[in-house]
Structures are given as C-alpha cells and as structure tokens.
Chain A
Amino acid sequence: MESGLSSLLSVSIDFETSHLFFPHIIHWLMGGLFALILVFNVAPFLVAVRRGERTLPILGESMDKFRFFGTLALIVAYFYLMSVVGNFFPYTGYGFLFVSMAFLFLMSLMYMHTRTKRKVITAAINALVAPSLAWFILAKLFQITLP
C-alpha cells in the first residue's frame, strides 16, 4: 500500500519536454474550473436570462456604440499611424508628437456631448500643448525613445 502510493506520487520530468509540464497541469486545471463554472454559475445565469431576470453582458446591455467603437477605431489608427509616421522621421519622436495631436483632438471631439466654440478651442489647445509637453519632457529632457 505504502509503495503503491509513493509510486503514484513519484514523477520524472524529461528535460526536452519540461517546458510543457506545467502548462499541461494549468490546462487541466483551467478546463476543470471552467466546467465547474459552467455548471454552477453560467447555467443558472442563462436560466435567469431566459426568464428575463438578467441580461447578457455586452450583448444584452445598452451601450454607446458610437463612442465605444469609435474609441477602439481611434486607438487602432493611433497606434498604427504612430509607427508609420515615426518611420519617416526616425529617432526624433515626431511620429508620436504629430499623431498624438490629431488623436487627442479627435478623441476630445468624440467625447464631447455638446460642442460649443469654447469647448472645441479648449480641446484644440489641449491637443497641441499636452503632446508637445510630453514629447519635450520625455524625448528631449529625459532622452526616452518615442515612436
């Protein structure tokens, strides 16, 4: 009995595949936990959804589609263009500077609920000053690499 238990617990790890040993255990753990969550949390939740007591996250909730997807699209464009423009002026940080200005202004406009002249001008000034300041402090004073 004693030896049976210890042979059950003994383990040897092949060095060549040792990088997969721990991930295997994690996969089994994740799978097991996920199954438990399905049974104890997700299933009752879906029943409640069907009865109309709860709503599905994301799909069933009301959301500001314009601002949410607009934010995503702007961020993607921002990240992408930053490196594109940055490649025209290597090691200067101009890519970051110029694209940030455009990004800040557009994002501000998108988040405004009512557009008055004064608000737009504030946003424009902010869009010019904030990236310049960040660029100056980081790239010029601290010599930090920027796109």
Chain B
Amino acid sequence: MLDILSLLDITFFLLAALGALVGIIFGAIPGMTATMAVAVCLPLTYALGLNHGLALLLGLYVGGISGGMVPAVLLNIPGTPSSITTTFDGFPMAQKGEGERALRVCVVASLIGGLISAIVLFLFAPVLAEFSIKFSYVEKFLIILLALTVIASMSRNMLVGIFSGVLGIWLSLIGTYSISDGGNGHTRLMFDFLEPYLFEGFSLLPVLIGIFGIATILLEAEEGVKSGLAGKNIEFGKGGGFSFGIFKGRLTNLVRSSFIGTFVGMLPGVGGSAASVLAYTQEKNLSRDSSEMGKGAPQGLMASESANNALTGGALIPLLSLGIPGDSTTAILIGAFTLQGIQVGPLFIPENADTWYLMMIALVFANVVMFFLMFYAIKHIAKVVLVPKYILYPIIVMMCVVGAYAINYGIMFDVWTLLIFGVLGYLIQKVGLEVAPLIIGFILGGQAEVYFVKSLESFGTYSIFFTKSPIAVVLWGLIAASVAFSVTMSLKSRAKRRLEASS
C-alpha cells in the first residue's frame, strides 16, 4: 500500500484535475465529445508515464461526459449524445430562470453516478478478471463474438450493425498475419506497392483520431460550420434556489439510474445515450409523481445525469477485465495502454495492481474535481459554449495531426491515415453505417483471428467452439439471447409504428 502512496504526487492530482477541466470544456461545446477530448489530448500523454497519463485521460473522460449537461440545460442542445435526456427537463427549468439550480442538480447527480459506478468497477472488475483468466482461445474468441453481437443488437438496425462490425474486422486484418502471434508473416488484403506503409496494418490511434476528430470536422463543414451560438443569450437565472433538500426522497431514483448507467456502460459499444434514455424512462414509469417530467422536473435531470456519468465506471469494467472496450472513449484508452506497452486483459489487474489502484484514485478524484469545478465555477465555464468554431476547429485538426504523427515516432503515413479514416468515417455516417461496432470490430479483429485460427489448428474441428467447456455453451446462450432480444425489439417497434400509422 505504501508503494502506491509514493506514486501519488502533486503532478498526478494536477493532471487529473486539468483533465477534468479540459474535459468539461470539450463536453460543454456542442459537437465535441468526451471521445474527442481523449483523442485530441493523447499526444500529451506520450511524454508522461503510464500513471500520469492515465490520470489525465480519466479526468478528461469524466469531465467530458459531465460537461455535456451545460449546453443541454442552457441551450437545449445536448453537448454530448449522452446528455440528450438532460435537455427534456433542464431547458424548461432554464427558461423558468432556474438554469443554475438545474445545473447544480445535474452536478450532484453526476457525482453520485460517477462514484457508484466507480465502486461497482472496483468490486466487480477483479472478480471478472479472475474468472476470465482460465479462458482458453476458444472462450476468448466467443467473448469477442458476444461483444460484437451485443453491439450489433443495440444498433438501430441489427443487420447494419453486424455489417459495420464485420467491416471493422476486415479493416483490422489488413497487413501481415503477424509471426509474433503464431502467424506466417505474409501480408494480405492489400496491393504490393502499399507494403512499406501497411506492413503492420493501420495504426489504431490514427484510425480512431481520424474517425472521431477529422470526420466530425468534415460533417460540420458540410453543414457550413454554423456560427450559431455567438450572440445567444445564456440564461442562468438568479443564483440560489438550490438546496440539497431537493434530493430528499430521490435516493431510489439516483441509485437505480446509476446502476442502469453502469450496466449499460459494461455492454460493449453501447453509447451513453442508451443509458440516460433508459434511466429516464424507468424513472418515468416507476415514480409516483412523474407527471411533471418533461416540463422541468429535477428528478428527470437526476435520472439522466447520474446514468450518464455512471457510464464511466461501467465502460472500464470490460476494458480492464477482458480487454474489450465498453464504449468509443475506452477504445481510445486501449490505445493509450498499448502505447505504454501494457496489454489490457484478464492479467492486467493482478500484474499491475499499483496502476489499478491509481486508476481508481484518479477516477474518484476526477469526479470530485468535476463536482467542485462545476458546482462553484459553472457560470464561468458555461461561457466556453460561446467560443466560435472558426477558432476551435483548426486547433482540433492541428492536435489530431500531432497525435497521429508522434504516435510511432514520426511516420507521415500515420497522418495520411487520419485523412483516410476521416473521410471513411464521414462516408460511414452518411450512408447510415454505425461507427461504434466498426471501431470495436477494428480493435478486436486481430485478436479474433488469432483465437479463431489457433483454436482450429489445435483441435481440427469447428465443433470445438460448442463442446470445449460449459462456459462456451453459456456464451453461446448469451449470444443467442442478445440476437433474440434485438429481433423482438425490432418486431415490437415495427408493430408500434404500424399501429401509429393506421390510427
């Protein structure tokens, strides 16, 4: 335990706090997300050690998710997708002149959500990791298959979701079948003249930064980069009016929403909007006084914000115990780990106990900093909503370039990768494919191949995937369940639409 204390220096806390502040700013600017904040700030961690780098990134993550509440309440624009339900009750409150009160409710709810999910993470991740240590290649492959199925079944359209995931896997296979993974070192899926550039395939981080940074800029450019917010009035209302009494009798709501958020966060690739929408509708269905929800009821804010901040801890659970990212932001965290030469997976927690405890400290600390920053300085922070985009976007492109170029110590092809995947990300979103499954497919594709081919090489039959162990059977059951869930949901919504159309 003493070793850990010696690793905690002032820099560690400063970086976590700085991360939270920058994250809040990113989150507060509509169109910029926590994922982007982490992607853009990655180059700063190259020079930091693992622990300091993680402190910064976790701060960014927590800050970025909670920052989305600011424009949601004040301008009726969700700053990040996960704060969409915050607009339902937040904006009506702001119109009534209760903007600051609404934000403070959100901040407290966010803190509770963040802390509850951190506790769940702390208790649950090591258990899951210990359980999964015994997995052989067969089970590992099935876990990846399960992850991809879950993502796909949560997509708007399951077929499109699966296709996006498979496309991601395909992209990850470009390059060699690496000898270090037991492959034969031949390249595939490319032209010979590209071999010098693509021998190792596309690097993970330029791909992610391209899809989340450059593609966003292109999407905004297409819309004409609306100056939009400048000149708009921000209504805070007269301060005060907030007391902790407002949370009396709301504990069930907060705890329930936090657990919903944590659970949704654990499901790979499922975005934050699912968590807050689910928590919001649950509160609406279950609470006795839900009639005011949607017109400016604090309980709606509590459900939405505690759920979306609870995502942070939840999404880290599969990342740290199985090596599977829970959402796009944690996907970028995988990149940060790889950069420091650390493989996330079942062995991460037992082998890096110090880092694990430090991450927990950083996560809790970032939540606390987020709370104080937002609770007391919200009026000043909220002004960044008005920073014009013609200043911001060029800076973002520049930071993307730095991140991509420096990742492999100066390879210009990585910068071009940014552009390739920026354009690809733009096209994908335009034709209606899904980004989240594609990214998860890209990250897990290489491992999936190795586990799959090695299993077949050693057992010589496809039936091994069903008969290897009881766990394999359970995993197949879960895969079938998630497919069935998705099919019934789509049938239900189709029936509902038909009903609405006919009435």
Contact = CB atoms under 8 A, between A and B. Distances in A.
Chain B interface size band reads 35 or more
Given A41-B157, A107-B393, A142 B432 contact: no
The A interface, classified by DSSP as helix, strand, loop or mixed, is helix
A103 B394 contact: yes
Contact of A75 (B44, B173, B395, B419): B419
A138 B453 contact: no
A126 B388 CA distance: 12
Contacts of A142: 44, 46-47
Interface stretch (B184-192, B314-322, B364-372): B184-192
A23 B463 contact: no
B166 A33 contact: yes
Contacts of B462: 9-11
A26 B453 contact: no
A27 B405 CA distance: 32
B43, B390, B418: most-surrounded residue (chain A CB, <10 A): B390
A27 B186 CA distance: 18
Nearest to B225: A111
Chain A interface size band reads 35 or more
B218 A68 contact: yes
B191 to A, nearest CB: 15
Interface string B389-423: 11101110111011001100110100110110011
B15 to A, nearest CB: 13
Given A18-B183, A18-B184, A144-B43, A64 B430 contact: no
Given A111-B389, A145-B409, A147-B405, A26 B221 contact: no
A119 B391 CA distance: 10
Nearest to B456: A11
Interface string A15-29: 110111111001101
Nearest to A40: B159
A108 interface: yes
B475 interface: no
A112 interface: yes
Given A33-B162, A126-B391, A144-B43, A18 B453 contact: yes
A43 interface: no
A67 B220 CA distance: 9
B188 A20 contact: yes
B457 interface: yes
Interface in B147-187: 157, 159-160, 162-163, 166-167, 169-170, 173, 176-177, 183-187
Nearest to A39: B159
A9 B43 CA distance: 48
A127 B401 CA distance: 15
Contacts of B214: 75
Nearest to A106: B394
B49 interface: no
A111 B223 contact: no
A144 B47 contact: yes
A22 B222 contact: no
B452 interface: yes
A140 B332 CA distance: 26
B188 A146 contact: no
A141 to B, nearest CB: 8
A72 B218 contact: yes
A123 interface: yes
B398 A100 contact: yes
Contacts of B166: 26, 29-30, 33
Given A22-B449, A67-B221, A68-B221, A37 B160 contact: yes
Contact of A130 (B160, B398, B401): B398
Nearest to B441: A26
15 contacts: A19-B184, A19-B186, A19-B188, A23-B189, A27-B170, A33-B166, A41-B159, A57-B432, A75-B422, A104-B398, A122-B391, A123-B390, A138-B402, A146-B406, A147-B415
Interface of A: 6, 9-13, 15-16, 18-23, 26-27, 29-30, 33-34, 36-37, 40-41, 57-58, 63-64, 67-68, 70-72, 75-76, 78-79, 82-83, 96, 100, 103-104, 107-114, 119, 122-123, 126-127, 130-131, 134, 137-138, 141-147
Interface of B: 43-44, 46-47, 157, 159-160, 162-163, 166-167, 169-170, 173, 176-177, 183-189, 214, 217-218, 221-225, 227, 388-391, 393-395, 397-399, 401-402, 405-406, 409-410, 412, 415-416, 418-419, 422-423, 427, 430-432, 448-449, 452-453, 456-457, 460-463
